[in-house]
Amino acid sequence: MVLASLSLASAQDSRMSLPTTVGAGSAFSIHSTGSGKAVLYIVGPGQALRRDVQLGESTYFPVGSLYNAGHYLVILVAGSSTDNGWVDVVPANTPANLSFLAKPSRLPIGLHNGISGTVYIFDVYHNLITKPTPVSFKLSNPSGSAQQRAVTAHEGVATTEMDSSEKEGFAKFEAQVDGISSTRVVEQVPGSPCGLTMIARPSGKGIQLATNPVRDCSGNAVPDGTIITFTESYDGAQSTADVPLKHGVAQVEIPAHPGATITVASGVVLGNEIHWQK
Amino acid sequence: MERIESVAPSSRPLPISLILMAALAVHLPLMLIRLPLNSYDANFHIFFASHYLHHWFNPWNTKWYAGFSQTTYPPLPQQWVALVSHIMGLDMAYMAVQLAAILLLVVGVYRFSLLWVSPRAASFAALATVFLGSESFLVYSAGQLATTSAAPIYLNALPYLFDWIRRGSWRAFLKASVLFTAAAAAHHATLLFGSFFFAVPVLALVLLDRQGGERTSVPAFVFRTVTIVLLVGAAIAVVLLPFWIALIHYPVTQAPIPHPSRANYILSPIWGLNYFIAPYGAMILALPFIVLRGSMTVRLRPLLLGFWVAFLVGLGGTTPVGQLLLGRAFEVLTMERFTYWATLLALPFVGLLVSELIDRFRMRAVIPLALAAAFTCAFAVAWVTIRQAEGASVKVDSVAAWLNRDRHDQYRYITLGFGDKISRLAVLTDAGSVDGEWNSGRRLPELTSNGAGSLSSSKYFGQAGLDALRAMLRHADKYGLKWVIVRDPYYDPLLKFAGWRPVDMLENNTITIWSKDGVPPAVPLNAPQMPPRWQGILWGTLPFGSSILAILVVLIPGRKQEEGRGDPAFASQEDLEPGRLVS
Amino acid sequence: MNKGRVLAVFITAATVALIAIGTLWPGKTALQYSGGKNLLRTSSTPQAAVENLGDEIRLRAWGAAYSSLGNKAEFSQSDFVHDLTGYYLSLRTYATLESFEVRPLHASSDQAEVRLRMHWSSVVGPFTTTRDLQVVKNGDRWNVDWPLVRKTVVPPQVIPENYLRWDVIYRGPGDDWGVQDVEAPHVRIVDMHPVQRAEGVVVLGELLNEDVVPAYVSVRATLQSKSGSPISTEGSFDKISHILLPKQVTPFFVNFPNATLSDVGSIRMEPLSGLVSASAGPVIVIENQQLNPAPGATVTGQLVNQSGQVVNIAHILETLYDKTGQVVWVADQYTDHALLPLTPIPFDIHIPEDLARKVSSERTIVETYSVGGVH
Amino acid sequence: MTIKATLVLFSILVAPGALLAAQAVVHVQPPDLHGPRQLQDQTATAVVRDYLESWQSLTAALEKNRVDLLDQDFVGTAKDKLTDTMRQQAALGIHTRYQDRAHDIRIVFYAPDGLSVQLIDNVVYDERVVDNKKVLTTQRAHVRYTVVLTPAETRWRVRIFQADPE
């Protein structure tokens, strides 16, 4: 379909009428004057086409012939004569694809503007739709609360920033443009252990050490696998064990030494201290 | 013991065409099945040739050592392989050049032997060349294309040298000079050491020679010797100019790398088998004859002494001679080439022995001699299969394909446990490595300071090898070294603890590809060793040109006196001192 | 005798003589390939007997070495070999004896005690083992009585294991921009400072995995001159634990050979992190760890593998702190024995004498390597 | 040094280099960002440098119909589309040469995560079309390009490369 006004390209023996702009993937025609056979070229960085044409007739390009947005040089070659012109292929108006970049995919709870989302809007042929377009972003937290932003895309791109919640879990981050949406998952993870405590009890010749369920300062359970370090100091010597949390607690058995001082830590966070007297 | 008279060379020599046919019959099938590809160094030469194929005038090769100059190695046979590969591909081109060297050796030995023994004995020496253990050892086991190409050119030059010094023939002077230069373009060490082992005996022969009347006068002898030495020296200096520039600016100062050819073959019998039994074969049985006849025949004494010294040096660490004569070079050179030269020097004696045995015992001699020759050749050819190199069974095509896809080749790589297959891999892949097989060409301090060979075989160099490997892995970021391709789980602990992790497996999980995160893509190293363009042009022109010139000059017809020296005394009875004994 | 005959005799005699010289007094390279063996040395003294045994071990000529032992009836050749190379696959299995020292401790006319100090080269670095050997006279020869350390037998038991494991599914090689990828773990350098040592500048510190997933970590340091131009860049190589579980801390040690601290204006640190598949096991407890003061300062202790799987190689990283809690040194050692379940393996890590006096406390972490566990 | 000063300096220092290489006059305007993140001077310089180099790759690749020449500077949609064009050209037996003559560049967006940069380039280029060694025509074009670059290991690569009507 011819979208815009036609321009008449100059020529010597043959002339052609070109559309100034063509919608990406739309049908269009190029009419030529004169008689005889000629070759029509449409060439740009985005595509290259060639058609054998009959001068004096319209050459029809069906839907999907020229689909990459860009500036195309059109050349009509009839024998020794050549006629040139330009045609612009513009993106379709309807968004069809979104490139949604949500960062980070994992972050601690309670961070202001910690989550960013950037969306690039494309038509069905992956041309960037550069006209201003409204975009809505929505971050749904596991607790049910949600943050929403409405942004207008400039030059095909829109961006926003959101806060991470106080509650751990997977949040749904969605960008929506004209009925097309794209969703990302953002993991909001607990912070460092808070109020780390352990208990000790005798176990044969050793001591069975176990932490209480380890939580962060917001009360979220610290993930399994987090390393808890137990250190037992006695008589100028010490025993240590790096133990991963399993089901929320870490436990290990170490040799018993009367008078030993036992400490617990996770990363740079220190927990309680026990003096073993038995 | 009984006293006997030598048998006069009354029978006719074997036609040289027949001997060449024999050489073709023995070696052509082996070439057609590409047996030399299993040798240690064949792929090394093919790798160099592949670079010349694509960059004839640019000797800077970025595929090894993050970049090295091929001007550190004389280029002639590899350039011929590159040229011929346009017709038949690199592998078969290598075979063609190697086969041509074998055929040329037959001619060279014949012509060289003619200086010392009768034409008939010389023809037997040439026939023995076909079955020569050391030749088969170098071709099929060691893969030393340069040595096996240079030696025949050199041997063919020696009769011209003799003619020039003895008779002052300017044609011979021209031919000798051009052939010596071409030999140096093929392998400089052959020329250097060949001067002592081959040329000095020939010069001595000139002084001893009384054929055709008077001896050569001393002033003429000195003038002609000095003239040819100066001219050949100048020619070689020009033809290999980039080589000398590289050598002078960047002398080989790296820590010596152990090589088993320097072992004591008695204390290490396996290396004795490898470096003595395999190359000499049945020639060992002829050693007493060589010593006796060489001592008793005045004319043969220079040849005997040349042989003896080469023989002793070729024994590596079995005697202190190599260390004493070569000094530090003993720690740099490998000794099997001296054995090769010793066997070439022994061939005139062998020809003499065979000639006498056949003339005296006829078929009773022919059969055992044929069996001995066949056994010698077969054993040396089979040796590469009997004692396989590390990595001989490794298939590198899948590794090359992996490196060539998904932009993996924007990083450098090393292999571990691939033995000499790293050259093959380098031919097939577009990716560069910080490792390589040309130790004298490398400049990376991680490699040169530890006294180990290629990283791929690190563990065989003990602490030095492992230190070099660790040093290189430590600087992986600097060199864009992201891939370590491992065929030997021995190295896994180091890679694991140094922060590498396996990312892919190939060849039925026998090859693991390890990767290091955070390594930036490889960038070309701005090495000072990179030859300027004019050197590249010289390198692509003069050495190859010297071989073309040699072919043209040799085609110039010689005077009859030069080509057919008639029937000289050679090793005949008149030269024998009284009391010659044969046990 | 005519000249020819003289020459023949001379060449023959000289060749034989030269071969004899080369064999009886082999050169350095020849000795290297023969494993130090020459034909002159027989086991005619206790020291020679131990040296011969050392040579045979170096050549891995196990049959000859075993045959030379005086007490070989007490164990099999296989036991002897495994005593040297490890009953389980360990650092010793692939180690080669690079050199050895022999030191007589005391001797009588028919018995002697000799210390054999063996320097092994292994893929992760050299290590040394020492054996005090009884050598007894048997006729005119001396034989070594090998002090065999028998295989440790782990009592049958059931050790339950269900370690947490993380796997990472990476994106394929194709470009899929906009499709979400998993974030690289967050890591932080919690301590860093440079130290001038005789061999150069060393940058020491500690790195914390702040995240909730395991991290592949590495540290790159660039020394910059006072004008800001880079002097040198080096990485932490193996003096760091490259796999860090959540909230785990590793020391790092970056060495700049030949650098001088006074030339350094600033140091740019680049902690690298990436997602990595990892397992939370096995748990290794460090027991009875003790700082032994100078002279001969060391940290000693025992490693106990609390899992049911054999750990083939363990890498012990020792962080040493001064009174203010600042890292003063990072020392390390690889175990040359496999860690069997619940079987203590001692370690003994050397500390530089001049730093030992500053050390107030230490912290140990252990990295492990198990065959088949890296893929 | 401010961004503006840097870019002016860049125009003075780097543009002549680009001029020599590609014979293009380069003018870089101060950034006009519509995102929350500020652009560092070094980043802006690198983006513009890499973008200008991408034109050289584009010129060479389309002239020789060699896809591999795009590898260094293009990625994603831009590379896919250019690759398709080269295949079409090769199938038709034509070559094109896009010789850039002038650039007027303004950076308009820098993503908060730092993983994309958008710029607008008013470019003047000559387009020459060759069919089986016969030059069909050479025409000069004035085109507004919207370009998005994303960081790779060592450089910025062009991911979206689209001409829009002015």
Q: What tens digit of pLDDT does each residue of D66-75 get?
A: 988 998 899 9
Whether A and B touch (3+ CB pairs < 8 Å), yes or no: no
| B522 located within any domain | no
Q: B378 and B406: one domain?
A: no
Is D164 part of the contact surface with chain B (CB cutoff 8 Å)? Answer: no
The arithmetic mean of pLDDT across residues C285-313, rounded, is 90
Q: Is A181 helix (H, G, I), strand (E, B) or coil?
A: strand
Q: Which of B182-186, B397-401, C160-164, C268-272 bottoms out in mean pLDDT, i.e. has the lowest?
A: C160-164
Per DSSP, what are the bridge partners of residue A40? Answer: A51, A76
Mean pLDDT of the residues in chain A: 89
ipTM field: 0.75
Per DSSP, what are the bridge partners of residue D96? Answer: D129
Element containing residue B206 per DSSP (H, E): helix B200-208
Tell which residue, B136, B151, B179, has the closest CA to residue B39.
Answer: B136
pLDDT of residue B327: 86
pLDDT of residue C156: 75
For residue B70, give every residue at least 6 positions away whose Cβ sits within 8 Å of its Cβ, in sequence order, or none.
B48, B51, B52, B59, B60, B61, B441, B539
Tell which residue, A235, A244, A242, A228, has the closest CA to residue A276.
Answer: A235
Domain boundaries, chain C: 26-145, 181-276, 280-369
Q: Is C159 helix (H, G, I), strand (E, B) or coil?
A: coil
pLDDT band at B4 (very low <50, low <70, confident <90, very high): very low
- Pick the residue of C212, C315, C319 with the most A CBs within 10 A to test the interface with A by mutation: C212
Alpha helices by DSSP H, B276-317: 278-280, 283-296, 301-314
Residue B314: domain span: 16-387+533-568
| B527 located within any domain | no
CB pairs under 8 A between B and C: 171
Are A61 and A43 within 8 A, CB to CB? no
pLDDT tens digits for range B142-165: 999 999 999 999 999 999 999 999
Q: B450 and B373: one domain?
A: no
Q: B351 and B432: one domain?
A: no
Per DSSP, what are the bridge partners of residue C191? Answer: C206
Element containing residue B194 per DSSP (H, E): helix B188-194
Contact list in D for residue C183 (CB cut-off 8 A) is none
Q: Which CATH architecture has domain C280-369?
A: Sandwich (2.60)
Give the closest-approach CA distance of D76 to chain C in angstroms.
Answer: 6
pLDDT tens digits for range B117-127: 999 999 999 99
pLDDT tens digits for range B45-85: 999 999 999 999 999 999 999 999 999 999 999 999 999 99
CA A130 from centre of chain: 19
Contact A82 D136 (CB under 8 A): yes
pLDDT band at D21 (very low <50, low <70, confident <90, very high): very low
Contact list in C for residue B494 (CB cut-off 8 A) is 123-124, 238
Give the closest-approach CA distance of B445 to chain D in angstroms.
Answer: 26
Contact list in C for residue B321 (CB cut-off 8 A) is 18
pLDDT of residue D19: 40
Count Cβ atoms below 10 Å from residue A52 Cβ, excluding itself. Answer: 9
For chain B, the domain total comes to 2
Residue B433: phi, psi to the nearest 5? Answer: -125, 160
Q: B510 and B557: one domain?
A: no
DSSP string, A93-148: SS--EEEEEEE-SEEESS-TT-EEEEEEEE-TTS-B--S-EEEEEEEE-TTS-EEE
CATH of domain C181-276: 2.60.40.10
pLDDT band at B6 (very low <50, low <70, confident <90, very high): very low
Q: B371 and B503: one domain?
A: no
Is the pLDDT score of A108 beyond 90?
Answer: no
Domains (range + CATH), chain A: 6-90 (2.60.40.1930), 97-189 (2.60.40.1930), 198-276 (2.60.40)
Q: Which of residues 48-77 of D touch B (CB under 8 A)?
A: 71
pLDDT of residue B518: 86
Whether B and D touch (3+ CB pairs < 8 Å), yes or no: yes
pLDDT band at C232 (very low <50, low <70, confident <90, very high): very high
Contact B521 D71 (CB under 8 A): no
Is the pLDDT score of D45 beyond 60?
Answer: yes
Q: B119 and B223: one domain?
A: yes
Subunits next to D (3 or more Cβ pairs <8 Å) are A, B, C
pLDDT tens digits for range C172-200: 555 567 666 677 888 999 999 999 998 89
| B7 located within any domain | no
pLDDT of residue C170: 66
Compute the distance between CA of residue B477 and CA of residue C314 in angstroms, rounded to an integer. 26
Q: Which of B536-540, B553-557, C20-24 bottoms out in mean pLDDT, i.e. has the lowest?
A: B553-557
Are D67 and D32 within 8 A, CB to CB? no
pLDDT of residue B388: 74
Is the pLDDT score of A2 beyond 70?
Answer: no
Q: B411 and B442: one domain?
A: yes
pLDDT tens digits for range B209-235: 766 566 778 889 999 999 999 999 999
pLDDT of residue A205: 82
Subunits next to A (3 or more Cβ pairs <8 Å) are C, D
Copy the structure tokens of residue B156: 């063919």
| CA angle, residues D93, D98, D99, in degrees to nearest 5 | 140
**A206: nearest CA in chain C?**
C287
β-pairing verdict for A106-108 and A180-189: parallel
Mean pLDDT of the residues in chain C: 88
Q: Which of residues 1-60 of C touch A (CB under 8 A)?
A: none
Contact list in D for residue B520 (CB cut-off 8 A) is 153-154
Is the pLDDT score of B451 beyond 70?
Answer: yes
Q: Which CATH architecture has domain C26-145?
A: Roll (3.10)
Residue A157: phi, psi to the nearest 5? Answer: -135, 140
pLDDT tens digits for range A209-254: 999 999 988 888 998 889 999 999 988 888 999 999 988 999 998 8
Sheet containing strand A260-266, strands side by side: A269-276, A260-266, A227-234, A237-244, C284-292, C298-305, C345-350
CA distances from A106 to A59, A111, A227, C148, C184 (A): 55, 12, 19, 55, 9
Compute the distance between CA of residue B581 and CA of residue D51 in angstroms, rounded to an integer. 89
Q: B414 and B312: one domain?
A: no
The arithmetic mean of pLDDT across residues B287-303, rounded, is 94
**B259: nearest CA in chain C?**
C29
Q: What is the DSSP letter of D33?
A: -
Compute the distance between CA of residue A159 and CA of residue A149 in angstroms, rounded to an integer. 10
Count Cβ atoms below 10 Å from residue B320 Cβ, excluding itself. Answer: 18
pLDDT band at B578 (very low <50, low <70, confident <90, very high): very low
Residue D75: phi, psi to the nearest 5? Answer: -155, 160
pLDDT of residue B242: 95
Domain boundaries, chain D: 3-164
Q: B87 and B158: one domain?
A: yes
Of B271, B494, B516, the CB nearest to C124: B494
pLDDT band at D6 (very low <50, low <70, confident <90, very high): very low
pLDDT of residue D5: 43
pLDDT of residue D83: 95
Tell which residue, C3, C39, C1, has the closest CA to residue C19.
Answer: C39
Of B271, B298, B496, the CB nearest to C374: B496
Query: Which carries the bigger pLDDT value, residue B514 or residue B439?
Result: B514
pLDDT band at C282 (very low <50, low <70, confident <90, very high): confident
pLDDT of residue B452: 83
Q: Which CATH architecture has domain D3-164?
A: Roll (3.10)
Contact D154 B521 (CB under 8 A): yes
Query: Which carries the bigger pLDDT value, residue A153 or residue C37?
Result: A153
pLDDT > 90 in chain B, percent: 70
pLDDT band at B544 (very low <50, low <70, confident <90, very high): very high
Tell which residue, C339, C221, C134, has the closest CA to residue B474.
Answer: C221
pTM value surpassing 0.90: no
Mean pLDDT of the residues in chain B: 89
Contact list in B for residue C235 (CB cut-off 8 A) is 474, 476-477
Q: B472 and B354: one domain?
A: no
Exposure letters B421-455 (e unless 16+ CB within 10 A, then b):
bbbbbbbbbebbbbbbbbbbbbbbebbbebbbbbb
Q: B348 and B467: one domain?
A: no
Residue B381: phi, psi to the nearest 5? Answer: -70, -40
HEC per residue, B512-538: EEEECCCCCCCCCCCCCCCCCHHHHHH
pLDDT band at C107 (very low <50, low <70, confident <90, very high): confident
Query: Which carries the bigger pLDDT value, residue D73 or residue A10?
Result: D73
Count Cβ atoms below 10 Å from residue B8 Cβ, excluding itself. Answer: 10
pLDDT band at B567 (very low <50, low <70, confident <90, very high): very low
Q: Is A173 helix (H, G, I), strand (E, B) or coil?
A: strand
pLDDT of residue C1: 58
Element containing residue A266 per DSSP (H, E): strand A260-266
Tell which residue, A238, A242, A24, A12, has the closest CA to residue A124.
Answer: A24
Matching CATH topology for C181-276 and C280-369? yes
